[in-house]
Amino acid sequence: MSLTDFRTLGRSGLVVSPLALGTMTFGPGGWNADEPTSRAIFDAYREAGGNFVDTADIYSGGESERLVGQFIKASGSRDDIVLATKFGFNGSASPLTATQGGGGNPNAGGAGAKNIHRALDASLRRLGTDYVDLYWMHIWDGVTPVDEIVQTLGDLVRAGKIRYYAFSDMPAWLAMKAATIATERRIPGPIAMQLEYSLVARDVEAEHIPAAREAGMGVMPWSPLAGGFLTGKYTRGNTADTGRLSGANPFGDSKFVDRNWDILDALKSVADEVDRPPAQVALAWVMARPGIGSTLVGARTVTQLESNIAATSIRLSAQQMNRLDDASAPTLGFSASLAQPMIRRMIFGGHDVVGRGEA
């Protein structure tokens, strides 16, 4: 496999590379890449044949979008690139002020129609383009009715300002309800889900991945290296200098827990066997999981990106995949437990019946 092993994203005609370039690291910030490095990362991804670039209005306070727009313009590649950006987080108050309450415009965030139109116009200005190929709802706001979200985004597809839309960081039921409303009302529907998914974050297998399969949505993992944890650069005995994994994290979880160190041990053992860095094997594992459309790779340097792209050439054996699956197996919640082989056999007279897209 390579970056030119193009595929459609979900049940759509949008043709994308198996690895998408995440640009959360572009622009100012403690663990980010400066402008020349960001440009070099963008160029290296394009030279390797990649066509799928992902940014967000909130990344580096809009600077990531500005840089991506600049690089696309300079390389004359607007037609060739599948350009994705996101709305949802509120840029009108600093994160600190916002978490402490007050200070910003409540209609400058969320999925209400007023914010979506405002956010898209601002993103188009920063990106220097008049359309976005894929517009992500970055995070569910918990209050806007699903009907309103689908109507607003479907209208933007019809107006030609976005070609497709999709959802990131939302409950599976919400995506499923949106897809159903869209089909029933003949409105363009969501085509993909962007979710945290890696060897140390497999919760989405319970509800999201089956929902995506049922609704024809592609799954796009973010943080496939768990923010760098799965590169093996941190060790059990030394988590003093952990870069971007130090300090506050909006999702509140630490990667440095016993369970994750055990998963890392299993990953390193497979990596030794195939003589590749653990990061490449972690990416190869996620790319090979059922339902995965295109995986987001983040990089702070060109060397990191090039190493991550090399993961496309790895094909893990069934035995190696099983070892990684077993070492990282999530605790089955209620929904996932319903699909256990034993229960299937109880239902289907002792037969191991496999559903569409499960194999």
Ligand X SMILES: NC(=O)c1ccc[n+]([C@@H]2O[C@H](COP(=O)([O-])OP(=O)(O)OC[C@H]3O[C@@H](n4cnc5c(N)ncnc54)[C@H](OP(=O)(O)O)[C@@H]3O)[C@@H](O)[C@H]2O)c1
Q: Which is nearer to ligand X, 176 or 220 (CB)?
A: 220
In the complex, minimum distance from the CB of residue 81 to ligand X, in angstroms, rounded to a whole number: 14
In the complex, minimum distance from the CB of residue 347 to ligand X, in angstroms, rounded to a whole number: 36
Binding site for ligand X (CB under 6 A): 22-25, 31, 54, 138, 168-169, 194, 222-228, 231, 233, 243-244, 279, 296-300, 304, 307-308
59 is catalytic: yes
In the complex, minimum distance from the CB of residue 337 to ligand X, in angstroms, rounded to a whole number: 27
Burial class, 245, CB count within 10 angstroms (exposed 0-12 / middle 13-18 / buried 19+): middle
Q: Which is nearer to ligand X, 231 or 320 (CB)?
A: 231
- Exposed e or buried b per residue across 163-200, where buried means at least 16 C-beta atoms within 10 angstroms of its C-beta: bbbbbbbbebebbbbbbebbeeeebbbbbbbbbbbbbb
Q: Which is nearer to ligand X, 162 or 226 (CB)?
A: 226
In the complex, minimum distance from the CB of residue 14 to ligand X, in angstroms, rounded to a whole number: 17
Query: What residue type is assigned to position 108 of the chain?
Result: A
Strand partners, 136: 86, 166
DSSP string, 49-77: T--EEE--TTGGGGHHHHHHHHHHHHHT-
Q: Which is nearer to ligand X, 17 or 187 (CB)?
A: 17
Distance of alpha carbon 86 from alpha carbon 282, whole angstroms: 26
Q: Which is nearer to ligand X, 194 or 294 (CB)?
A: 194
Count of other CB atoms within 10 angstroms of residue 288: 15
In the complex, minimum distance from the CB of residue 340 to ligand X, in angstroms, rounded to a whole number: 30
Query: What residue type is assigned to position 14 of the chain?
Result: L
Distance of alpha carbon 26 from alpha carbon 66, whole angstroms: 10
Structure tokens at 355: 């559903």
Rounded-to-10 torsion of CA 220, 253, 310, 296: 20
Strand partners, 192: 218
| Catalytic residue (choose from 45, 59, 164, 165) | 59
Q: Enumerate the active-site residues.
A: 59
